[in-house]
Amino acid sequence: MLSILDSIYCGIKRDEIRKLGKTIQRLSVNSFYEILTKDCWEFGIQYETLVKNNEVLEIKLWGVKRRNIIKFHRCAIVSVEELDKFVNTLERHEVNRGIYVTTGSFELNIIRKQKKAIPSKVKVKLEDGFSFYRKQAGWLGNAVEALKIQNLKLYRYLPE
């Protein structure tokens, strides 16, 4: 979901964004899982894998103060039904925050009506492929280097 800052970023780094399209689809569920669990071990965060297959990873993380569920989904477009399933999972596990990361994008209904599309007491953060990778590269970084699997930074998703 493009914010104003993302739009500015698109204008500044056009060449790198063209390369992003190919690179986004390369990130596998196993790579995401390995990096996230390594960060959990490093920061002393407990985790439990709820769902893991070639397309989806759902993992529950709990720190001292908070509990999160992260869903990493490799797909072109996330539908409202898939988001509803995720919200139900969040409520069933009684967590503080949910983070939905996809390599594609979200349906227009979700983007236009984000607050109404997610009727939940739990905070839900949505990150499409572009937002995820822009945050990885930062403003000054080289997107191609930041997108190499060994350079991914997933510690921002860890609970306190």
| Residue 150 one-letter amino acid | Q
Q: Mean pLDDT throughout 146-150?
A: 60
* C-alpha distance across the termini of the chain, in Å: 26
Give tens-digit pLDDT for 42-93.
999 999 999 999 999 999 999 888 999 999 999 889 988 898 899 889 989 9
Structural domain spans, the chain: 4-157
Gap between the Cα atoms of 101 and 35, Å rounded: 14
User: Per-residue DSSP letters for 55-90?
Assistant: SEEEEEEE-SS-EEEEEEE--SEE-HHHHHHHHHHH
- State phi, psi for 69 to the nearest 5 degrees: -125, 130
pLDDT digits (tens, 9 = 90+) for 96-128: 899 999 988 888 877 766 655 565 677 888 888
Arithmetic mean of pLDDT, 8-21? 66
Task: Specify whether the CB–CB gap between 95 and 68 falls below 8 A.
Answer: yes
The DSSP code for 26 is T
Do residues 28 and 152 make contact, with C-beta atoms less than 8 angstroms apart? no
Q: Which fold has domain 4-157?
A: Trna Endonuclease; Chain: A, domain 1 (3.40.1350)
pTM: 0.83
- Name the strand (E) or helix (H) holding 146: helix 143-146
- What does the pLDDT read at residue 149? 62
Question: What is the spatial order of strands in the sheet that 97-102 belongs to?
Answer: 46-52, 56-62, 67-73, 97-102, 123-127
- Predicted confidence at residue 106, as pLDDT, reads 86
- At residue 20, the pLDDT reads 66
Could you tell me which residues are beta bridge partners of residue 78? 106
pLDDT band for position 151 (50/70/90)? low
Q: Rounded CA gap, 38 and 116, in Å? A: 35
Each residue of 122-146: pLDDT tens digit? 788 888 887 777 777 665 666 566 5
- Which residue did the predictor score with more confidence, 143 or 15? 15
* Average pLDDT, integer, range 149-156: 74
Residue type, 77: I
Residues 6+ apart with CB under 8 A from 8: none
pLDDT band at 156 (very low <50, low <70, confident <90, very high): confident
